[in-house]
């Protein structure tokens, strides 16, 4: 059984993950508007991953005989002048989620909830990967320094991304 504090915090994390999906869907639309279908593909797959993360938390609450409380999802505000600005926003958001996961881990440890602490390890590792993936694209975009040929090449590379089965 989950403590009330843990249950409330995980319900908030479900909201964070669904909001993350919503952000990435908005970014996909913005990338499409910019004429970057590969970037749009990357963001759409990220959208699917975030829904998968929400589902993991959702199922965990139910497995622990907890009560899921779905909270309202806020509207994402994504203006984007460039692919670089979208990825900088994505990285900033992933860092926010990393902080949320760290806070959940701290709470699980303070509540001596070993099952939740172990459950969260997957998310800790996932966040390292999420941040690294966004940073890699940022580094590539900075390297090409606005060169349209380089942008075209990165867009084609991102078009080949597929969803991970573990997401």
- pLDDT in 10s for each residue of the chain, 167 residues: 899 999 999 999 999 999 999 999 999 999 999 999 999 999 999 999 999 999 999 999 999 999 999 999 999 998 878 999 999 999 999 999 999 999 999 999 999 999 999 999 999 999 999 999 999 999 999 999 989 999 999 999 999 989 875 65
Report yes or no on 31 lying in a domain: yes
**Residue 163's pLDDT is what?**
81
Report yes or no on 165 lying in a domain: no
Give the domain range for residue 95. 4-159
The Cα–Cα gap between 125 and 96 comes to 15
**Residue 79's pLDDT is what?**
80
Find, among 13, 39, 12, 36, the residue nearest to 24 by Cα.
39
**Residue 67's pLDDT is what?**
98
DSSP state of 75: P
- Planar angle of CA 129, 130, 131, nearest 5 degrees: 95
Report yes or no on 142 lying in a domain: yes
| Cβ proximity of 91 and 135 under 8 Å | yes
DSSP state of 81: S
Report yes or no on 58 lying in a domain: yes
Report yes or no on 136 lying in a domain: yes
Q: In CATH, what number is assigned to the domain containing residue 36?
A: 1.20.1260.10
Report yes or no on 167 lying in a domain: no
The Cα–Cα gap between 49 and 135 comes to 17
Report yes or no on 166 lying in a domain: no
| Cβ proximity of 86 and 30 under 8 Å | yes
**Residue 81's pLDDT is what?**
84
Q: How many domains does the chain have?
A: 1
| Cβ proximity of 115 and 64 under 8 Å | yes
């Amino acid at each position: 059984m989950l403590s009330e504090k843990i249950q409330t915090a995980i319900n908030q994390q479900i909201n964070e993950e669904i909001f993350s999906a919503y952000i990435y869907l908005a970014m996909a639309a913005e990338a499409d508007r910019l004429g970057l279908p590969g970037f749009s593909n990357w963001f759409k797959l990220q959208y699917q991953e975030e829904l998968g993360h929400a589902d993991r938390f959702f199922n965990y609450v139910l497995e622990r005989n907890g009560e899921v409380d779905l909270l309202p999802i806020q509207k994402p505000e994504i203006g984007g002048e460039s692919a670089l600005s979208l990825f900088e926003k994505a990285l900033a958001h992933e860092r926010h989620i990393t902080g949320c996961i760290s806070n959940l881990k701290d709470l699980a440890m303070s509540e001596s909830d070993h099952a939740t602490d172990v459950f969260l390890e997957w998310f800790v590792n996932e966040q390292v990967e999420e941040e690294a993936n966004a940073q890699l694209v940022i580094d590539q975009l900075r390297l090409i320094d606005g060169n349209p040929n380089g942008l075209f090449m990165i867009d084609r590379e991102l078009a080949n991304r597929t969803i991970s089965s573990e997401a």
